[in-house]
């Protein structure tokens, strides 16, 4: 019996944690039913390396942007630069971008500027925006509403673990919430309740590997194959059979990340 097909919508295969192991990682992912994965470039200077990984594996796609925690350290991306990168056939999303005030609140102004640049690129390319948001809910809601008012764009709140208010605001704009290993942790019932209140046709699953391994691997290195463990919990949250939840989140991925749709 084969495993239901699912998608890891967010991982970091170029990180040193996976050096020399990518063929085996992809193989293990596919054995677990993870037939597609999106590896995320967080600093544009690394885009050629991330692109090469996507080019080397049929199952791997990529997205590119400047992570908010790196926004003050990296040259500010330009809309034209992001549009040019987006021409590559396996480049399927803009980001991750966003706001992170947990460790890097001192760079809030440059983070906001960077976020708006990425939003413009998402709007102009038609590719979905990939948002990282931490300890910045009020500013994130304000910017997303303001920018959406200037013209629609697709978006996923990656590794969603913020407030119910931000979740509702994102859903009201037509965006998606992505479930990571955090949703499997015992103390994450409040987060599971936020997901349960969201429409299941707006949910994606991801690993954010090598970080945030789901139960029963918490504290260990995460990898795309473990998407299945998060999706099992997601199915429980929605009271669905695992195969049905896997099919629904895969359909959701195809809708949002239409350039990577099969």
> Once rounded to an integer, what is the mean pLDDT over residues 191-211?
98
Cβ(41)–Cβ(92) below 8 Å: no
pLDDT of residue 262: 82
* 56 in a structural domain: yes
Closest CA to 6 of 32, 24, 39, 27: 32
Report the SS3 class of residue 33.
coil
* pLDDT tens digits for range 142-151: 999 999 999 9
The pTM for the full model equals 0.97
Residue of 238, 211, 212 whose CA lies nearest to 18: 211
Distance set, CA 23 to CA 56, 109, 112, 136, 234 (Å): 10, 40, 37, 37, 27
Task: Tell me whether residue 29 is in a domain.
Answer: yes
**Share above pLDDT 90 across residues of the chain, in percent, rounded to a whole number:** 99
93 token code pair = 């999303």
Q: Given CA atoms 111, 156, 164, 160 in this order, what sign does their dihedral have? A: negative
Q: Give the length of the chain.
A: 262
Task: Give domain status of residue 1, yes or no.
Answer: no
Comparing C-alpha atoms, which of 11, 72, 15 is closest to residue 49?
15
Determine the structural domain holding residue 18 and report its residue range.
Answer: 6-260
Whether residue 216 has a cis bond before it, omega within 30° of 0: yes
Q: Check which CATH number belongs to the domain holding 68 and give it.
A: 3.20.20.140
Inter-residue contact 25 to 225 (CB < 8 Å): yes
Residue 253 predicted with pLDDT over 70: yes
74-119 pLDDT per residue, tens: 999 999 999 999 999 999 999 999 999 999 999 999 999 999 999 9
Is it the case that residue 2 has pLDDT exceeding 90?
no
- Which structure tokens are listed for 18? 């996976």
36 beta partners: 7
Q: How confident is the model at residue 1 (pLDDT cuts 50, 70, 90)?
A: low
pLDDT confidence bin for 39, thresholds 50/70/90:
very high
| pLDDT tens by residue, 210-245 | 999 999 999 999 999 999 999 999 999 999 999 999
Residue 59 has pLDDT above 90, yes or no: yes
The pair phi, psi for residue 125, each rounded to 5°, is -90, -20
What is the DSSP secondary-structure string of 187-200? T-HHHHHHHHTS-G
User: Cα(158)–Cα(177) distance, rounded to whole angstroms?
Assistant: 6
Res. 177: pLDDT tops 80: yes
**Residue 129 domain flag:** yes
Cβ atoms of 154 and 119 within 8 Å: the answer is: no
The domain tally of the chain equals 1
């Amino acid at each position: 019996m084969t495993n239901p097909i699912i998608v890891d919508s967010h991982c970091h295969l170029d990180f040193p944690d996976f050096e020399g192991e990518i063929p085996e990682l992809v193989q293990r992912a596919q054995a677990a039913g993870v037939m597609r994965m999106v590896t995320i470039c967080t600093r544009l200077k690394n885009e050629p390396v991330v692109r090469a990984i996507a080019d080397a594996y049929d199952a791997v796609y990529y997205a590119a942007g400047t992570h908010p925690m790196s926004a003050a350290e990296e040259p500010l991306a330009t809309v034209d630069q992001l549009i040019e990168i987006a021409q590559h056939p396996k480049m399927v999303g803009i980001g991750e971008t966003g706001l992170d005030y947990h460790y890097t609140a001192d760079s809030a102004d440059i983070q906001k500027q960077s976020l708006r640049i990425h939003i413009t690129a998402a709007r102009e390319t038609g590719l979905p925006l990939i948002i990282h948001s931490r300890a910045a809910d009020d500013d994130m809601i304000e910017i997303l509403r303001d920018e959406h008012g200037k013209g629609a764009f697709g978006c996923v709140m990656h590794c969603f673990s913020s407030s119910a208010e931000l979740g509702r605001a994102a859903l009201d704009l037509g965006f998606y919430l992505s479930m990571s290993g955090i949703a499997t942790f015992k103390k994450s019932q409040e987060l599971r309740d936020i997901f349960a209140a969201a429409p299941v046709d707006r949910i994606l699953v991801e690993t954010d590997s090598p970080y945030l391994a789901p139960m029963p691997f918490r504290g260990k290195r995460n990898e795309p194959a473990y998407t299945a463990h998060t999706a099992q919990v997601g199915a429980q949250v929605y009271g669905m059979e695992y195969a049905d939840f896997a099919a629904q989140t895969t359909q959701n991925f195809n809708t949002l990340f239409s350039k990577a749709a099969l």
